[in-house]
A and B are shown apart, each in its own frame.
Chain A
Amino acid sequence: MAMPEEIFYGIFARGIREILQKSGLDLSRLQEIRLRADRPLLLRYESLEYGVTPEGALTKRPECGVCVNSRELEETLEHVSGYSLYAFDEELKQGFLTIPGGHRVGVAGRLVMEDGRVRCIRHISYVNIRLSHQVKGCADSVMRYLVSGGQLCHTLVISPPRCGKTTLLRDMIRQISDGTPYLGGMTVGVVDERSELAGAYLGMPQNDLGLRTDVLEGGLKAESMMMLLRSMSPQVIAVDEIGGSEDCRALENVFHCGCRLIATVHGVSFEEIKKRPLLRGMLREQMFERYIVLEGDPAGSVREILDEQGQRLYRRRHAPQDRERICGS
């Protein structure tokens, strides 16, 4: 969901807000804004990093840009949290909070520990505002490869960081839920540990995940998967960034319950994740039927799609002689 400009700029301290408004940014191309106390303001705009001059011009030399002072950072946090930072206590323990529009504000500072667990975070001096851009239709090209024999295939999306896997997963969920020319609509249960998929703000999802989607946000992935299985009777479970041993055990339960599974994992290639101890077993038993490998240039590009045996079903065309579409499903 696009964030109206006035609401977006309203989350910043007055001084920063005026400078950003002068810069005339196209919010749909803005990816990140980083605030660090007594350091230059940095933007990631169209995948490039810029500083901002006092006149509002973007500069590739951040040291020439405006610096953020600690008072401005505090004021920004007040606006981001609706003057209620304490209300986001649980999310802050995980290092982030979600704001209207589904955008994520990551924070860093001093952790206060109690009995080995994070009690809270204080003296927040670093803020990273990551804008969420729902790209409807970005999964159009992959959906037909995910259906086989009239059924949705268990799918694993493999992607390096910042290559659009969450954006792709979001659109896959939406299309599976709403239905596609290849498959009718299905009930989808989404495990949204960091509120990135639905981008829920005070319980209200800010992104469109489809007609038949239920979202369980904030909890640990393993527990959330089991809760969804028990309570919401999903036909499909979608989960972002699997990795731990509990996640893998929960995934096995999902497989054996007859649910279809869509998951993502950090990685650069199918061969690389085959070497990981936690995933090796699942891959060897061919639990996943489709592997979608993304690459970062440009973000969200599908490099290849593989079947359960690692056979290539689709490869992105880099040059005319590289075209290798072997088969479709």
Chain B
Amino acid sequence: MWVIVKTAGILCIMVASAVTGAELERRVKRRWLLLREMYETLLFLEKEMTYHRSPVREAFDYASKRCATELSGVLAQTAERIGQRTGEPFAQMWEESLAAQLPQGLFAREELELFRETSVALCGTDVVMQKTLLEKYADRFRTMSEREAEVCREKGGLYRKLTLAAGAFLVILLF
């Protein structure tokens, strides 16, 4: 009986540590994927706006279909609100869509501020500066996503191994 309980306990501890490691790795990877997708989306939108002159609602709808992360929801929700023509400022709609769709706690405050600031590039009255701003923000997201890719590579596997090791240590300690 005692052996069965011990075995079950060991299994629970190892599974929990494996899941924790996988979750930490997934979180890091999720940040990287979102930042990379934001960079690619800004480049896509720049081309849609500059060359095809697609209205922003249409461009956002199209871009949201290409996205695999929560960014798809941000773009789709913003496009829907634009279509409702409620007369709200674009920055407000963008910010509210970000707050509703982006996962809580995934990004630091400064990083979220950068997401919000991109509204200036996505909708502005200076069409000459708009292209420049889109490129500038795309570049910033590219830098952030490359840094995050590095973190993912270094720490992703490390988190998994550390949590498994911690689980094993706990097992040894307890049993």
Contacts and interface: CB of A to CB of B under 8 A. Distances in A.
A binds B: yes
B130 A86 contact: yes
B126 A78 contact: no
Given A7-B85, A83-B90, A86-B50, A77 B125 contact: yes
A84 interface: yes
How would you classify the secondary structure of chain A's contact residues: helix, strand, loop or mixed?
helix
A92 interface: yes
Interface in A1-47: 7, 9-12, 14, 17
Contacts of B82: 82-83
A2 B86 CA distance: 19
B111 to A, nearest CB: 24
Contacts of B123: 78, 83-84
Contacts of A75: 89
B100 interface: no
B57 interface: yes
Contacts of B56: 82-84, 87
B171 interface: no
B90 A86 contact: no
Contact of B125 (A12, A14, A78, A112): A78
Given A74-B125, A78-B125, A87 B86 contact: no
Contact of A85 (B50, B54, B125): B125
Question: Chain B interface residue count: which class?
Answer: 20 to 34
A78 B90 contact: yes
A78 B89 contact: yes
Interface in A62-80: 74-75, 77-79
B127 interface: yes
Interface stretch (A116-124, A146-154, A187-195, A283-291): A116-124
A122 B54 contact: no
Contacts of B105: none
Contacts, number: 61
Contacts of A122: 126-129
A122 B129 CA distance: 9
A308 interface: no
A206 B30 CA distance: 47
Contact of B126 (A12, A84, A123): A123
Given A77-B125, A123-B126, A124-B125, A82 B87 contact: no
B55 A14 contact: no
Nearest to A202: B55
A89 B50 CA distance: 10
Contact of A12 (B86, B87, B127, B130): B87
B96 to A, nearest CB: 15
B49 interface: yes
Given A89-B127, A123-B126, A82 B53 contact: no
A92 B125 CA distance: 11
Interface in A117-147: 120, 122-124
A9 B129 CA distance: 28
Interface string B52-95: 01111100000000000000000000000010011101100000
A51 B126 CA distance: 28
Nearest to A109: B125
B127 A85 contact: yes
Contacts of B128: 112, 120, 122
B124 interface: yes
B80 to A, nearest CB: 13
B87 A120 contact: no
7 contacts: A11-B87, A78-B123, A79-B87, A84-B49, A89-B127, A122-B126, A122-B129
Give 3 closest A-B pairs by Cβ, nearest first.
A10-B87, A84-B55, A84-B56
Interface of A: 7, 9-12, 14, 17, 74-75, 77-79, 82-87, 89, 92, 112, 120, 122-124, 202
Given A82-B57, A202-B55, 17 more contacts: A7-B85, A14-B87, A78-B123, A82-B56, A83-B55, A83-B57, A83-B82, A83-B90, A84-B49, A84-B55, A84-B56, A85-B125, A87-B56, A89-B127, A122-B129, A123-B126, A124-B125
